[in-house]
Amino acid sequence: MWRRHAPDPSASGPAPVLDVHRIRQHFDFPAAGRVVTNNAASTQPPRELLELYRSLSPWYENVHRGQSSASQHMTGLFEESYDTIATWLNARSRRSIVTYRNTTEAINAVMYSLLSEFRDGDNVVTTTMEHNSNFVPWYALSREILPRFGRRVDHRLARFDPVTGELDLEHLAQLVDARTKLVCVSGASNFLGTKPPLRRIRAIADDSGYPRPDGDSGSLLLVDAAQLVPSSSVDVQALDVDYLAFSFHKLLAPFGIGVLYAKEHLLEQALPFLYGGDMIAEGQVAPDRVSYNALPWKYAAGTPNILGVIASAQALRLLLDLVAGGRPRWFGTAEPLARDVVVSSMDLVARHTTAVTEQAMRSAQDVAGLTVYGPPPGAPRSPLVAFTVEGMDPLRIAEGLNELGVESRAGCHCATLAHRDLGLVPSGSCRLSFALYSSPDDVDSAMEALRRVTAPARIGRVGLRAAGRPYP
Ligand SMILES: Cc1ncc(COP(=O)(O)O)c(C=O)c1O
């Protein structure tokens, strides 16, 4: 069973600023000498989480319908994990939480669930700042899948301002009409860093006039929150989103779990994405009739990634403890999460990651020929900076940074449409991205390395990893 102990009064709320030095001691990568500034791709796992995963093994068993104590124990831990995730997002209950492998699979699940509901002449509106995970499924739906069923569904793309990186809301509003079944937007761009105003987009979707099956009108709203959930507090009820997806590997937990939040009535009505065992009601399978399980298990076909779900939900609890410092309060327990602690902790994470991102943006101004994409300093931005340097291949920059021990990422970051709009295809951009454990020293190291890599006279002299041990 989980540890249960009384809350520690000294740890009743998070400290006013993140103690990054202390937080880093919970991770192995600093001792390996790594400057990890590619956190938008995946974050690092804290040591306790890996230990927790290992510690679950003596009681590992399949979940649901097992008679052994081990199975019942695992089922309890597994199901509680859904409550933790629900509270994290301020979902009404676990009935709105579905787990998949990642954001991509979650968005595909929405696409396949809605497949039969699109009417001839409907449309889907997305934007050109989407990750391919929130573009290609809708492209495939409208161009490849539904045409095979004789249905025409239009796929429309709202543009963004190439100078500010802001989503063109007027254009979006023009594209949304009474045939728009679904509006799909990124909550935070993984290339530009832009954070589109989700409440205004909700209002645009609400006003579309699209006739819903329940007699109401308005378009559905899906938010790709892969970059939003790890860097801010997200309240799905306040945002009134219909669907929201994120991946735990960007939130300290690389165990193959992604989350789909969906409004309960949508999950009730929709057809599942995957069919098979466990998603059916107990005993309710006959040759001519199958009944599905109660939510959320209707959407959990087959044996789930049990340890992955448990460890991922515990990552959220550990994050609260890391932010607060003091004696662990949440990690390793099943105590119902306090929503106010989630909000204040993630506000602190957001403040910290914003500060290091601004530090990087300021420092980038000193690099000759460097162009940063996305919102200007001071505007809302997810904790990343993507840039190009005149006359240099971004790939060469990333390789040069790596030689100096700084991990960045070059390419289109799967935001291919946005790179195309900015004339950056095929070479893309180079990106530095930050997480709660990123320190001002990391930024200094990265920017110093960037100055060395981009200084014309020094190119060619960069050849050795400046810090850290070689990879094993
Ligand atoms: C904005 C955004 N959406 C979707 C994804 C896809 O996430 P995953 O690879 O976990 O499916 C990413 C990953 O980088 C992302 O940044």
| Phi, psi (degrees; rounded to nearest 5) at 150 | 75, 20
**How much is the pLDDT for 402?**
97
Band (pLDDT 50/70/90 cuts) for residue 17 is confident
Structure tokens at 268: 């009730």
Give which of 410, 409, 397 is closest to 454, Cα–Cα: 397
Q: How many angstroms does the Cα of residue 446 sit away from the middle of ligand 1?
A: 23
Condensed to tens digits (0 to 9), the pLDDT of residues 143-167 reads 999 999 999 999 999 999 999 999 9
Condensed to tens digits (0 to 9), the pLDDT of residues 428-450 reads 999 999 999 999 999 999 999 99
414 labelled catalytic: yes
Q: Give yes or no for a cis peptide into 426 (omega within 30° of 0).
A: yes
Q: In whole angstroms, what is the distance from residue 396 CA to residue 450 CA?
A: 11
**How much is the pLDDT for 16?**
65
187 with 228: CB under 8 angstroms? yes
Query: Which residue is listed with tokens 């199901």?
Result: 79
37 with 442: CB under 8 angstroms? yes
Structure tokens at 263: 């409004």
**How much is the pLDDT for 36?**
98
Q: In whole angstroms, what is the distance from residue 457 CA to residue 440 CA?
A: 27
Structure tokens at 402: 């790596």
Indicate the domain borders of the chain: 73-308
Residue 4 has pLDDT above 80, yes or no: no
Q: Which of 250, 414, 416, 417 to mutate to test the pocket of ligand 1 (most atoms within 8 A of CB)?
A: 414
Q: In whole angstroms, what is the distance from residue 396 CA to residue 384 CA?
A: 19
Q: What is the mean pLDDT of residues 331-335?
A: 96
**How much is the pLDDT for 1?**
43
Condensed to tens digits (0 to 9), the pLDDT of residues 186-228 reads 999 999 999 999 999 999 999 999 999 888 999 999 999 999 9
Condensed to tens digits (0 to 9), the pLDDT of residues 34-62 reads 999 999 999 999 999 999 999 999 999 99
Give 345: exposed, middle or buried? Use CB within 10 Å, 0-12, 13-18, 19+: buried
| Phi, psi (degrees; rounded to nearest 5) at 156 | -115, 150
Q: CA angle at residue 316 from 93 to 413, to 5 degrees? A: 105
Which of ligand 1's atoms lies nearest the C-alpha of 247?
Answer: 10
Residue 460 has pLDDT above 60, yes or no: no
Q: Which of 108, 131, 382 to mutate to test the pocket of ligand 1 (most atoms within 8 A of CB)?
A: 131
Q: How many angstroms does the Cα of residue 417 sit away from the middle of ligand 1?
A: 15
Condensed to tens digits (0 to 9), the pLDDT of residues 373-384 reads 999 988 999 999
Q: Please, what is the average pLDDT of the chain? A: 93
Give which of 192, 138, 190 is closest to 168, Cα–Cα: 192
Q: In whole angstroms, what is the distance from residue 331 CA to residue 381 CA?
A: 30
Does residue 103's CB lie within 6 angstroms of at least one atom of ligand 1?
yes
Does residue 102's CB lie within 6 angstroms of at least one atom of ligand 1?
yes
What's 312's DSSP letter?
H
Q: In whole angstroms, what is the distance from residue 121 CA to residue 434 CA?
A: 42
234 with 187: CB under 8 angstroms? yes
Does residue 227's CB lie within 6 angstroms of at least one atom of ligand 1?
yes
Q: What is the CA radius of gyration of the chain?
A: 23
Does residue 127's CB lie within 6 angstroms of at least one atom of ligand 1?
no
Residue 451 has pLDDT above 90, yes or no: yes
**Strand 406-407 to 258-262 pairing:** unpaired
Q: In whole angstroms, what is the distance from residue 412 CA to residue 145 CA?
A: 26
Which amino acid, one-letter code, is at 19? D
Give which of 384, 107, 84, 382 is closest to 253, Cα–Cα: 84
Band (pLDDT 50/70/90 cuts) for residue 83 is very high
Does residue 131's CB lie within 6 angstroms of at least one atom of ligand 1?
yes
CATH 3.40.640.10 matches 73-308: yes
